[in-house]
Amino acid sequence: MDMQEIARWAYIIFVVVAIFAGLILGYSAHDSYVLTPTDPPANWAETIKTNNGYVLFSMLIFGVVIGLTSITRKEVSAFLIATIALLVASGANVWAGVWYLHPLLFFWASAILSYIVAFAAPAAVIISIKSVLAMAKEK
């Protein structure tokens, strides 16, 4: 098994971990949040700060590993565009409307998106720096 295949599997595993962590901690946040039917919370993870911090830190480390090992030169543009889309979606609070369907869905969706972004953002930073350094060496 070569390094690229290991990196692809690691990326898939880290996304699955982010989804499972989002489901577990999203449910935990929903369970500990005092529900008000009028509006979603500004910060979905306010009641589970410690556990959320551990998962975010783990996702950050996973993102650094992926950024250092997995993305090839021809995959850089697609990866960075996908990461930009994730960052925009997470900043726009796109899941606020789901609150009115069922608050648990809001917590799940917000948590999963948050953890995937926490995983992709550091990878994007490292890949961007590597790409800029490669362009600087070419000139």
At residue 44 the predicted structure's pLDDT band, cuts being 50, 70 and 90, is low
pLDDT at 20: 94
Q: What's the Cα-to-Cα distance from 16 to each of 11, 70, 87, 107, 115, rounded to whole Å? A: 9, 17, 19, 17, 10
pLDDT at 23: 93
pLDDT at 36: 65
Average pLDDT of the segment spanning 60-85: 84
More confident residue, 61 or 93: 61
pLDDT at 48: 77
Q: Which two three-digit tokens encode residue 98? A: 């789901």
pLDDT at 137: 85
- Tell me how many domains the chain contains: 1
Average pLDDT of the segment spanning 38-60: 78
Q: What is the DSSP string of the chain?
A: --HHHHHHHHHHHHHHHHHHHHHHHHHHHHHHS---TT---SSTTGGGHHHHHHHHHHHHHHHHHHHHHT--GGGHHHHHHHHHHHHHHHHTTTTGGGGGT-HHHHHHHHHHHHHHHHHHHHHHHHHHHHHHHHHHHH-
Range of the domain at 63: 3-138
pLDDT 10s digits, 119-133: 889 989 998 898 888
